[in-house]
């Protein structure tokens, strides 16, 4: 088991258990930040796409290079914690009760994936994306790719976009087989979307694929009837109490 801690910069890692492994993303674009960390520019990788794919270059590395039976992705400042760990963080700002190997294995006896708790929107998911993203029409390109290449996912796209919640942050933990199945679909779709945009003359790709990826997780989960357990996370740089966004 390995839970990979995604970071694009030098950061203090508060969790010390052996199952947690920091990995530098965008390592091909930036100087080495810690020689003890893994780098997403090793093995089969898309490290050079990090400015657009964000933490997903780390997920791609996990898919192609990790041989662990259970894998996960969290962030240098966001970690899955128990209910007590979330309560403790809200009250004191402290950082404790990170998920242990035993805890994770017990959850995965009943569920396919561990996901970050949903973020709720006052408006629909599609409306929120269009209000907050620099390139809101990327959703249209994603939809067109699904219609052309994965029509069985169109109904799931419509359902998720009409909803008022989403599992953001691209955080997850699951058995490698399940995560691989998701990655195979996710990156095939994203590469198709990226090609269409580039062929259309687009030049600015800052964060675009990473933002689409956040929405695609729920589409895949909904379409494939994935059993998931929602677990709290904490932000080690600030308290997060409000889970509703306009």
Domain tally for the chain? 1
pLDDT in tens, the chain (246 residues): 999 999 999 899 999 899 999 999 999 998 777 778 999 999 999 999 999 999 999 999 999 999 999 999 999 999 999 999 998 888 888 898 999 999 999 999 999 999 999 999 988 899 999 999 999 999 999 999 999 999 999 999 999 999 999 999 999 999 999 999 999 999 999 999 999 999 999 999 999 999 999 999 999 999 999 999 999 999 998 766 555 443
Distance separating alpha carbons of residues 229 and 138, to the nearest angstrom: 29
State the residue range of the domain holding 51. Answer: 2-245
Distance separating alpha carbons of residues 130 and 127, to the nearest angstrom: 5
Residues 6+ apart with CB under 8 A from 159: 222
DSSP assignment of 84-131: HHHHHHHHH-----BPPHHHHHHHTTT-SEEEEPPEEESS-HHHHHHH
pLDDT at site 123:
86
Distance separating alpha carbons of residues 190 and 212, to the nearest angstrom: 8
Residues 6+ apart with CB under 8 A from 83: 232
Find the helix or strand (DSSP H, E) in which 69 lies. Answer: none
Q: What's the angle, vertex CA 72, arms to CA 66 and CA 74, rounded to 5? A: 120
Residues 6+ apart with CB under 8 A from 187: 56, 60, 63
Give how far the C-alpha of residue 200 lies from the chain's centroid of Cα atoms, to the nearest Å. Answer: 27
CA-based R_g, the chain, Å: 17
Distance separating alpha carbons of residues 225 and 155, to the nearest angstrom: 13
Find the helix or strand (DSSP H, E) in which 233 lies. Answer: strand 233-235
pLDDT at site 32:
74
Contact by Cβ (8 Å): 80, 231: yes
What pTM was computed for the model? 0.95
Distance separating alpha carbons of residues 92 and 180, to the nearest angstrom: 37
Q: What's the angle, vertex CA 178, arms to CA 176 and CA 184, rounded to 5? A: 95
Residue 83's Cβ-side half-sphere holds a number of Cα atoms within 13 Å equal to 2
């Amino acid at each position: 088991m390995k839970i990979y801690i995604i970071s694009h910069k030098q950061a203090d890692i508060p969790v010390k258990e052996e199952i947690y492994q920091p990995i530098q993303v965008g390592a091909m674009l930036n100087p080495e930040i810690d020689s003890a960390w893994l780098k997403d520019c090793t093995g089969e990788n898309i490290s050079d796409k990090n400015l657009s794919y964000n933490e997903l270059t780390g997920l791609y590395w996990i898919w192609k290079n990790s041989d662990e039976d259970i894998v996960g992705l969290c962030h240098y400042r966001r970690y899955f914690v128990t209910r007590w760990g979330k309560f403790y963080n809200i009250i004191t700002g402290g950082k404790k009760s990170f998920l242990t190997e035993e805890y994770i294995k017990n959850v995965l006896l009943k569920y396919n994936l561990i996901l970050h708790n949903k973020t709720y929107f006052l408006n629909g998911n599609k409306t929120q994306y269009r209000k907050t993203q620099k390139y809101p029409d990327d959703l249209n390109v994603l939809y067109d790719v699904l219609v052309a290449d994965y029509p069985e996912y169109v109904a799931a796209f419509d359902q998720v976009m009409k909803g008022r919640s989403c599992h953001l942050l691209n955080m997850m933990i699951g058995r490698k087989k399940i995560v691989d199945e998701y990655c195979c679909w996710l990156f095939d779709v994203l590469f198709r979307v990226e090609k269409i945009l580039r062929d259309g003359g687009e030049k600015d790709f800052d964060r675009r694929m990473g933002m689409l990826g956040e929405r695609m997780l729920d589409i895949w989960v909904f379409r494939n009837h994935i059993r998931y357990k929602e677990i709290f996370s904490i932000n080690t740089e600030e308290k997060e109490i409000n889970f509703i966004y306009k």
